[in-house]
Structure 1
């Protein structure tokens, strides 16, 4: 069967900890970027340094009411046994969440774009977006061409990452015509990462969450 969603509640519970089989441990905290404007309610998630603008990336088929919604990330602080406790902390973005409503999530489904069919996925497979520049983001389809200066190692998006020492973020960056984008580091860096849609008991969308595979599954965690 296709990949199933992990327990995202623990990702966004400050203080939740985990241990890898290697002995390295991690503790989670929540960082809030601010509010993302969704004028159309059509959400896009991608690597912004590669796929922002030009209509290259399709929005998810799940749409929400236009509005402004909170974006937050689960940041893992990783500690290696024997490491200098006074050294620079090792931080990674474990997941990024676009919060649509603050109600409990009762179920999860794959966030898909037009033409993607979950029934065609094999065992453990998932739909997701590719990362080649170590970053991910959320933004509205209407904002797609509102960042003409964000190309490669230039523009406000690059400045946000560079100004923070290319830390995990999150970063809320303004574009033209009032649009903005919420960007963040992508876990271990380049790869392919799934986004999930959460729904409450009434079937209403609660959030979109991109998992960057930093938090180990129960099977992969140390006993």
Structure 2
């Protein structure tokens, strides 16, 4: 069967800690990233340095009411037990969340693009987006053509990450002409493919979109997020 959702509560519980097989320890904090404007309610997630404005990435089939929604990142600080604190902590973005509704998440499902069918997935497989530049993002499908200056190693998106030695984010970049926004962040360990999950409450309404970057070890979900 396809990949099952991990316990995403752990990703967004400040102070939650865990150990890797290497002996290193990870501790979770949550970083706020401002409010993302969704003028159409059609959410896109991708590697912005590669796919933003390319027309190659479709929005998810799960749509929400247009509006402004909070973005936050689960940031894990990785330490070696017994070693003194570092002046340059080792941090990784473990997950990014777009919060749609402040109600308890009761169920999770893989975020799908048009034409994707869960029945096509094998054991532990998932649909996700590919990362080739070590970053991910959320934005509205209506904003796809609003950031022509956000390609390559220059422009406002590059500047956002490069402000403090490639800051992990989340970073909210706004197009001054349209007001369109994009929320971007580094992608866990870097390049790869990562799933986005859609949370729903007891009424079936979307509560959030969460992209998991596989930094927090997966454990079966034990409670609603």
Q: TM-score range by the shorter chain?
A: over 0.9
* Structure 2: distance between partners of 1:162 and 1:156: 10
Match of 1:37 in 2: 37
Contact 1:38 1:66 in 2 (8 A): yes
TM-score (norm 1): 0.96
CA contact (8 A) 2:7 2:218 kept: no
**Runs of 5+ consecutive residues of structure 1 not aligned to the other structure:** none
Tell me which residue corresponds to 1:94. Answer: 94
On the 8 A contact 2:7/2:219 being kept in 1, the answer is no
Where in structure 2 are the equivalents of 1:20-169 lying within 5 Å? 20-169=20-169
CA RMSD of aligned residues (A): 1.1
Could you tell me how far apart the structure 2 residues matched to 1:6 and 1:82 are?
A: 29
Number of residue pairs matched? 219
Q: In the alignment, does 2:205 pair up with 1:204?
A: yes
Deviations 1:28-80 (A, max 9, x none): 01101000000000000000000000322100011000000000000000002
Q: C-alpha distance in 2, partners of 1:218/1:205?
A: 23
Question: Per the alignment, in what secondary structure is the counterpart of residue 178 of structure 2?
Answer: helix
Alpha-carbon separation, structure 2, partners of 1:125 and 1:137:
22
In the alignment, the residues of structure 1 paired with residue 129 and residue 145 of structure 2 have an alpha-carbon distance, to the nearest angstrom, of 19
Q: Write the distance in 2 (CA, Å) between the matches of 1:163 and 1:156.
A: 11
The equivalent residue for 2:181 is 180
